[in-house]
Amino acid sequence: MRATTITGAAGPDQRVAAVRQFNRFYTQRIGVLREHLLDSPFALTPARVLYELAQWPPGAPPPTASALAGSLGLDPGYLSRILRGFEQRGLLRKTISEADARQKSLELTAGGVRAFAPLDATSRAEVRALLAPMAPAAQTRLVVAMDTIATLLGDGRRAAEDGAAYVLRPPRPGDIGWVIHRHGALYAHEYGYDEHFEALVAEIAAHFIERFDAKRERCWIAERNGEIVGSVFLVRASKTAAKLRLLLVEPHARGLGIGARLIDECIRFARAAGYRVLRLWTQSDLLAARHLYRRAGFRRLRSERHRSFGKNLVAETWELTL
């Protein structure tokens, strides 16, 4: 069964039918209609309650029944019966809430944790099997589409961002050409840089491809709603130093945290790869980028006036000790 394909011009009845058909397709595809979820002793709703209790943030106050019912949108009476069943099977412990003596906090016992473990493992395995036939690009499209659904059906604030979700992925054939093209076009439009800047970007990108060291170098491509919206490179400078290069975020995707995330990924990888310092070279007129570097902990080491890219510029070297 496949969901109905509709366009933005479709009427309300067609859209309702498409959503209902997709619901039927997906619930059947992931097996939630089975009497016991993932061949476990639990039906869907008890399994979800068990999941929420097992995944409750460490260090956070344990949930109460009323809080759990509110977060899951469950009828309190129905939830109470589920919790009573957990208690009788030795999966759940109730204690007086420290915040409100009238409420009881809920925590899984060691038996509850053991009961959840195979359910969690089977769920992960089934999702891997669901994704396995797809190419990485198709998997990325699926994840982005799912996040878009969650955004549009979510709390309204994210929906107002018109699909703010994005993913970071390795480059695919053609992406490096995009990096060169967008740097050339965007920097010419926003800063007045001439074609020599695009030539420099092409040189850096070509060097990255020709001498790529998978253990110590990376490129991240930011993708949003199937469209490339950003990039960054982490390249080897020496045994102990790495360089952050070619950070770019498309204008219409700014303000979503993509630039900061790209920088964070560079820092995280550089530390894991054993570098001691991370450096970058930028220009004083790139104010937004400089703000992100400073916020990430980089400090400016030196600056130098120069004539490049058809302009009089001030080049800056920044460094972060890892």
For residue 47, what pLDDT is reported?
A: 86
For residue 53, what pLDDT is reported?
A: 86
- What does the pLDDT average to over 204-227? 90
Mapped to the 3 state alphabet, what secondary structure does 181-204 carry? Answer: HHHHHHHHHHHCCCHHHHHHHHHH
**Token pair 């070619």 in the structure block, residue:** 246
**Token pair 């899984």 in the structure block, residue:** 108
* Rounded distance between C-alpha atoms, residue 6 and residue 23, angstroms: 15
Residue 138 DSSP SS3: helix
* Rounded distance between C-alpha atoms, residue 106 and residue 84, angstroms: 11
Phi, psi dihedrals of residue 294, rounded to the nearest 5°:
-65, -40
Q: Which CATH architecture has domain 31-133?
A: Orthogonal Bundle (1.10)
Secondary structure (DSSP) of 28-49: HHTTTTSSSGGGSS--HHHHHH
Phi, psi dihedrals of residue 238, rounded to the nearest 5°:
-155, -175
- What does the pLDDT average to over 24-32? 76
pLDDT tens digits, residue range 128-147?
888 889 887 788 778 777 76
Return the structure tokens found at 138. Answer: 């198709």
Cβ distance 25 to 130 under 8 Å?
A: no
Residue 259 DSSP SS3: helix
- What does the pLDDT average to over 8-23? 77
For residue 182, what pLDDT is reported?
A: 95
Cβ distance 293 to 282 under 8 Å?
A: yes
Share above pLDDT 90 across residues of the chain, in percent, rounded to a whole number = 43
Return the structure tokens found at 150. Answer: 């969650």
Angle subtended at Cα 285 by Cα 279 and Cα 291, rounded to the nearest 5 degrees? 55
Buried b (16+ CB within 10 A) or exposed e, 63-99: bbbeebbeeeebeeeebeebbeebeeeebbbbeebee
**What DSSP designation does 38 have?**
G
Using CB atoms within 10 A of its CB, is residue 175 exposed (0-12), middle (13-18) or buried (19+)? middle
**Entry pTM:** 0.53
Q: Of 3.30.1960.10, 3.40.50.620, 3.40.630.30, 3.20.20.80, which CATH number belongs to 167-321?
A: 3.40.630.30
Report the amino acid identity of residue 96: I
**Token pair 């709603």 in the structure block, residue:** 225
Residue 63 DSSP SS3: coil
- What does the pLDDT average to over 102-113? 87
Cβ distance 242 to 273 under 8 Å?
A: yes
* Rounded distance between C-alpha atoms, residue 272 and residue 274, angstroms: 5
For residue 243, what pLDDT is reported?
A: 95
Return the structure tokens found at 14. Answer: 């067609």
Return the structure tokens found at 81. Answer: 């019966």
Band of pLDDT at residue 10, cut at 50, 70 and 90: low
